[in-house]
Structure 1
Amino acid sequence: MSMDEGDAPDDGDGDGPEAERGFIRDGDFRSGFGQELSAVLDMVSWEAGHDFKRLFAEFKTQVSQSVNKEESLRSIIRKQLFHQIKSAKLAPDGAGVFPADLSWLDTIREQLLYQGLVEAVNSTVVSHDSLPISVTQIGVAIVSYNATTGVFSQRLFRKEMAAQVDGLAEAIAFIQKRQARSGAGRRDELSTLARRGIRTYAERAILLERATAEWRMGYGNPFAPELLSGSGYTSLLTVSLGLLRNLLEKHPKFVFVSDSLHDIGLLTLGNALNVGEYLILDTVEADSLRIVDRWDYENRGQNEARQFVRECGPLVLRGLFRASDNAPPYLFYAHREHVHLAAHVALADSILRSERGFPMLLDVAEVACRGAFGAEGFMGLMHDAYTHAGAKFHYLRAHKRRR
Structure 2
Amino acid sequence: MSITFRDILNQKTWNRYEDYIAEGIPQYSKELTNDISEGRKHKKQIRDYLEKHFEIKIISSDLNNEKELLTKGEVVGIDGTIATHKTITGTMAQLGVVAVNYLNEKIQHSYFISEARYKEDIKDVAEYLYAHEPINKVVSNPVLRAALQVRERELGLIDKFKQKYKMYHGPLVPFEMVANPGRAELKILDVTLEILEKIIANKKCFSIVSRSQNDAYIRIGLSLNKGEYVQLKKSVGLEMMEDRTLLKEKDKWREDDYLSVNNFVNLKATKIKIGLIKISQRPYVFQAHEEIFDLAARIIYRDALFQKEKGFPLLIDYADNLCSTFFKASDFNKIIEYQLAKEGEYLSETSEDNLRQK
**TM-score grouping bracket, smaller chain normalisation:** 0.7 to 0.9
With 157-166 and 262-271 compared, the bigger mean Cα shift is at 157-166
1:38/1:206 CA distance change after superposition, 3 Å: closer
Which residue in 2 is equivalent to 1:343? 297
- Partner residue of 1:307 out of 263, 279, 283: 263
Deviation (angstroms), 1:312: 1.1
Normalising by structure 1, what TM-score?
0.77
1:244/1:39 CA distance change after superposition, 3 Å: closer
**Cα separation, 2, equivalents of 1:387 and 1:148:** 39
Which residue in 2 is equivalent to 1:75? 44
Deviation (angstroms), 1:244: 1.8
Which residue in 1 is equivalent to 2:65? 107
Do the aligned partners of 1:230 and 1:238 also contact (CA within 8 Å) in 2?
no
Which runs of 5 or more structure 1 residues have no equivalent in the other structure? 1-22, 30-36, 87-95, 183-187
- Partner residue of 2:195 out of 224, 227, 243: 243
Deviation (angstroms), 1:239: 2.3
Residue identity matched to 1:335: H
**Cα separation, 1, equivalents of 2:77 and 2:298:** 15
**Cα separation, 2, equivalents of 1:309 and 1:272:** 30
Which runs of 5 or more structure 2 residues have no equivalent in the other structure? none
Which residue in 1 is equivalent to 2:221? 270
- Partner residue of 1:157 out of 114, 134, 143: 114
Do the aligned partners of 2:115 and 2:139 also contact (CA within 8 Å) in 1?
no
**Cα separation, 2, equivalents of 1:344 and 1:78:** 22
CA offsets 1:231-277 (integer angstroms, 9 cap, x no match):
2356321222222222222x212211111112121111111111111
Which residue in 2 is equivalent to 1:333? 287
Give the CA RMSD over aligned residues: 2.8
Which residue in 1 is equivalent to 2:149? 200
Residue identity matched to 1:319: G
Q: Secondary structure at the match of 1:292?
A: coil
With 336-345 and 368-377 compared, the bigger mean Cα shift is at 368-377
Normalising by structure 2, what TM-score?
0.86
**Cα separation, 2, equivalents of 1:319 and 1:387:** 50
Instruction: Report matched runs for 1:250-399 at 5 Å.
Output: 251-281=202-232, 282-289=234-241, 290=243, 292-294=246-248, 296-325=252-281, 328-388=282-342, 390-395=343-348, 397-398=350-351
| Higher relative contact order (Cα pairs below 8 Å, separated by 6+ residues) | 1
Which residue in 2 is equivalent to 1:33? none
Same amino acid, percent of matched pairs = 20
CA offsets 1:304-357 (integer angstroms, 9 cap, x no match):
1111111112211101111112xx211101111111111111111123223432
**Cα separation, 2, equivalents of 1:58 and 1:384:** 47
Aligned residues: 345
1:65/1:298 CA distance change after superposition, 3 Å: same
Deviation (angstroms), 1:198: 0.6
1:26/1:173 CA distance change after superposition, 3 Å: closer
**Cα separation, 2, equivalents of 1:25 and 1:228:** 33
Which residue in 1 is equivalent to 2:169? 219
1:240/1:272 CA distance change after superposition, 3 Å: same
1:211/1:396 CA distance change after superposition, 3 Å: farther
